[in-house]
Structure 1
């Protein structure tokens, strides 16, 4: 079995299995707030074993104020995803029965962004519950590090107010329109309106973007916010849609479909989205697998944040 030195090179040699065990236990303990007894039940070891893993991780330098492993979460799955889909990075949250996926994905995406963003950076944000959850966890970080936000779509103000980010601070540049408008003519006029055009252009100067991955379920976020009807979603599905990004629906290969709804959308186009160096797609759950596969096949994101069951299914389907 191969051995690796720890990040701080304190003389510890840990095999790959130990590194993953420590990282998994640390995630459960520090990120999910589980007790050592609960972790022991989850991973099938004794509480003493969990305690020793955490202590060994601290002594070896894997654990500081955050999990200091080269990869958080399920290390092997992350590497497999990167290799299978040509990603630049992946973050996989370990499986945990009884814990909702949404907050855990949001915390993982927030952790990834916190480590990657630098003071004075610009972060482009898309649409969806995963994005708003991530922003909620990051609310204190942006003003502290002078990080600005710019929206990739209209309609962001529908949820961003719940994150504590939209206010007098002035670091959020939002497109002041709905995501979808009533006519192609109105959408074209709005895209040409100077303030809207400036925000769309500003988004393309960001080095990092965070996007949600929309499904074509009747419970999809676009339906809940009234931008699509259940009947429209069914029609798009029959025409080959498996998911959407920024309001644009794509097929299983990630190709954008020729749908009239796209001419009503006020958003950065998928082709322009690909110009941003780091595009993080955050999503998990069985209803999102087809959508994530299409997103990755179409190179609409090059970084993925998901959970362990979803990662395993993505690799199985690949």
Structure 2
């Protein structure tokens, strides 16, 4: 039975991971989160809900060694769900965990695009650099602690979302406007993971320590082309949509321009170019390895996106 401490529990990915851990029917003896006083103050309802579910709340500064070590003493497994801007904070957390004998396992914040998909191109992708530094630190400095990277590919709810007008050329599905912009030819397959499945896959990895030990697990919910996603939106809305395409050469041009202009949306162009190029595809996924083949479908997540966009428009 694992005693799990979560960092980044109230973030976009963290909420789903925390929810899955809270509702896990087996394997979890104790669950806690480490968070800041600011989060406790600004997300009080969420924190109180966690408390009501028996989750322990540890309040402190993630950069303060004593604060972190005080929380570490009650757990054996660390699950990190840090956002992109806080990825490097994991290096200190890993260092302190390596020195804490009761901590046995660490799940770094790796959810999303595979940062080592290609030995030729991945090391040079700008959005990968911080996660690559964390992996390099683990390879060089972590000897005792076990680790598991849960590599999910893109989150379906975000990939199928409505983008702001200024960047919808990077791909969008607009339910109210019945408009879509597909990337490449629209026939390129991409493997997606839904947000609920993200949490379930982390739990599954946690419950299969032998199979997940020191591995990068390649897991996902389903694989679909842009045209297949569009077809599902059209089926569920009962209407044909207005469709445009952003060819690969145009996507690359926009990506290059965004980085040159230091546009904060440059990462979006790069990640979506990687997906369209096939950077989420594998001969086999690792779901079976951790008994996690029962995942959500394209139809399920499209229905959720339609509901979300419709409610937002009211």
- TM-score band, normalised by the shorter chain? 0.3 to 0.5
Normalised by the length of structure 1, the TM-score is 0.33
Normalised by the length of structure 2, the TM-score is 0.33
